[in-house]
Amino acid sequence: MSIAASIVVLAALASGCTNSPVGRKCDLGEAPPANAVAVASQSLDCVSRTCLRVGGGAGYPPTRELPPGSTPLAANVGLCTAECASSDECERVPESPCVLGFTCAIATTAGPYCCRKFCICKDYVAVPESGELAAPAECDATESKNACCNLEGRSGNPNYSFCK
């Protein structure tokens, strides 16, 4: 096989993989409060360095019955996640305890990760029939009362002086 053909084959194989597979268990350090969302941004357990635990929050129901084969996570354990634009980007690692797979949705409406989409395990949130969670009202950039600095038009806007 020629070098050019080898490069094309390698590029094709590489395009089928994401840079940050999700779903591996990760240590949050301390246990977050019940029904809280926790994002640990420097998790060495994760390729993306981002560990997420969703126990409700961002307008999502706090609990659901776990599907067959799924197990509850320890209080200080989350799952490795990555930012995403669609659920297709949420590639589950084989050792993940997440049975139903992942959806791409907003995990929290507060703090530095407000209104940013992450891969969220569907075992722990009630997902509608569509398979997608709706964006919380707090993340509607057209509403001036929504002050999350990650929303379009907030950074550098004098009306949101706390957004740099």
Domain limits, the chain: 14-132
Exposure string for 70-85, b = 16+ CB within 10 A, e = fewer: beebeeebbbbbbebe
Exposure string for 107-125, b = 16+ CB within 10 A, e = fewer: bbbeeebbbbbbbbbbbbb
Burial (CB count <10 Å: 0-12, 13-18, 19+), residue 155: exposed
pTM more than 0.85: no
pLDDT in tens, 114-132: 999 999 999 888 888 887 8
pLDDT in tens, 20-52: 799 999 999 888 887 788 999 889 999 999 999
